[in-house]
Amino acid sequence: MLLDGSLVSLCTFPGVLVHQLLYLLACRYFNVEAAFSVSNFTQHLSAQLVTIGEDAAKKFGRRLEQVAVAGSAIACCLLGMINQFTPNGSVVEGVVVWIAISVGVQSFPFKASLAGRIMSFLWMDAVYGLMLYMIGKIAYAGLAT
């Protein structure tokens, strides 16, 4: 692998936080008991900040992940829209782009499968995040006219 997963998690930590907070909100919505611990990230650079029980994972795990992935994708697009209000070429614009793409990387829907790991190896998750960001920029341009 070109980059270790922990290094990618460190570089995309805003996306990890957004994704895991959306996962936690989905747990609250479906009445699933969950524990949120930032220490998993700070000690081990693990992207799994929310822990749920084994039975809940079997019953709701896929649905919770789908909600978090969809929410992260929407957040990435919204960040693309928000970035229209920042000055071109400014540091703020660069920070918003970094946050948007890191959120988009965490919204990549195929992470658990072998094909998803291969696509992540080939940086398709970063391309996916960039595409979501651009969709937000294009959607705002369309709404503004």
pLDDT at residue 118 in the model: 78
Other CB atoms within a 10 A radius of the CB of residue 45 amount to 16
For the chain, first and last CA: distance in Å? 44
Name 123's Cβ contacts closer than 8 Å, sequence gap at least 6. none
pLDDT at residue 126 in the model: 85
Mean pLDDT of 25-46: 74
Mean pLDDT of 53-82: 88
Q: What is the pLDDT of residues 91-106, one digit of tens each?
A: 999 999 999 999 998 8
> Higher-confidence residue: 94 or 110?
94
The burial of 26, by beta-carbon neighbours within 10 Å (0-12 exposed, 13-18 middle, 19 or more buried), is given as buried
Confidence label for 1 from pLDDT (cuts 50, 70 and 90): very low
Is residue 115 scored above 80 in pLDDT? no
pTM over 0.75: yes
Q: Are the C-beta atoms of residues 18 and 72 closer than 8 Å to each other?
A: yes
Is residue 125 scored above 90 in pLDDT? no
Q: What is the pLDDT of residues 4-16, one digit of tens each?
A: 566 777 788 888 8
Highest mean pLDDT among 48-52, 87-91, 107-111: 87-91
